[in-house]
């Protein structure tokens, strides 16, 4: 089993950070969900719903194992690409600021990813996405909310599990009618490269999308076949 660790300094008190983490309206911005259920209660079930444009919307479900209010939250969350659960531990600690205010250090540890197969893709995906999620949580708390789904204006339309260097990017699903869908990319495909550009991480995917514009024609190496794709302007953005 393998793990990830992340940390973010937020310029707000622990109580506000904690309440925001449980607020479903706030989650649409920083967590990128279209719907979420996470009661502030130990033992409660949770669900984060994503990607309504896909053939089958992505839903991560789990439960709240430990809840020490304003200080520690432990979640058990089921993975989608492999039959396993991971433990996500959030810890909130006070950090005195020069201004006299008290800020919050939010640390996140994710553990329990299988070391082989799709577990490696899931681990990469969780690390990539939660690094962005914590950044967007800070933006939301600062009063400048952004949305994970509107980071790029160009759309390929793949919903990745994750990417592993030397193997490529594993596709969980594709958005219906998106360029990847029209080109024949399907769940379970591994997108390896585009020309000389190799997809070794989800950061690579972000950089690649950012470097292209709607209307561009590209050729992806998907498994052992070349797939021509015409990119388009992003059409889906949650409210």
Residue 52 has a pLDDT of 58
Domains, in order of start, for the chain: 2-141 (3.30.530.20), 152-233 (2.30.42.10)
Q: Which residues have a Cβ under 8 Å from the Cβ of 170 and sit 6 or more positions away? A: 81, 118, 121, 160, 161, 162, 163, 164, 188, 189, 190
Cα(160)–Cα(139) distance, integer angstroms: 24
pLDDT, tens digit only, all 239 positions of the chain: 678 899 999 999 999 999 999 999 999 889 988 889 999 999 999 999 986 565 656 789 999 999 999 999 999 999 887 889 999 999 999 999 999 999 999 999 999 999 877 888 888 888 888 998 999 999 999 998 876 555 567 889 888 888 877 889 999 888 888 899 999 999 889 999 999 999 988 888 888 988 999 999 999 999 999 999 999 987 654 43
Q: What is the pLDDT of residue 162?
A: 83
Please give the structure tokens belonging to residue 125. 């995906």
pTM above 0.85, yes or no: no
């Amino acid at each position: 089993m393998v793990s990830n660790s992340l940390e973010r300094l937020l310029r707000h008190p622990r109580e506000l950070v904690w309440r925001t983490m449980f607020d479903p309206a706030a989650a649409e911005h920083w967590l990128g969900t279209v719907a979420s259920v996470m009661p502030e209660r130990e033992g409660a079930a949770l669900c984060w719903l994503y990607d309504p444009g896909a053939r089958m919307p992505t839903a991560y479900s789990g439960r709240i194992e430990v809840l020490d209010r304003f200080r520690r939250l432990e979640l058990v969350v089921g993975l989608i690409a492999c039959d396993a659960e991971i433990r996500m531990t959030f810890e909130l600690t006070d950090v005195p600021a020069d201004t006299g205010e008290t800020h919050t250090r939010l640390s996140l540890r994710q553990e329990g990813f299988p070391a082989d197969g799709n577990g490696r893709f899931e681990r990469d995906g969780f690390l990539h996405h939660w690094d962005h999620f914590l950044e967007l949580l800070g933006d939301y708390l600062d009063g400048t909310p952004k949305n994970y789904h509107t980071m790029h204006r160009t759309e390929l339309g793949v919903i990745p599990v994750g990417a592993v260097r030397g193997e490529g990017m594993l596709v969980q699903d594709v958005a219906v009618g998106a360029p990847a869908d029209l080109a024949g990319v399907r769940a379970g495909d591994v997108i390896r490269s585009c020309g000389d550009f190799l997809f070794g991480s989800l950061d690579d995917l972000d950089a690649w999308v950012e470097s292209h514009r709607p209307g561009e024609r590209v050729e992806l190496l998907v498994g052992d076949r070349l797939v021509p794709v015409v990119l388009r302007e992003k059409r889906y953005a949650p409210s």
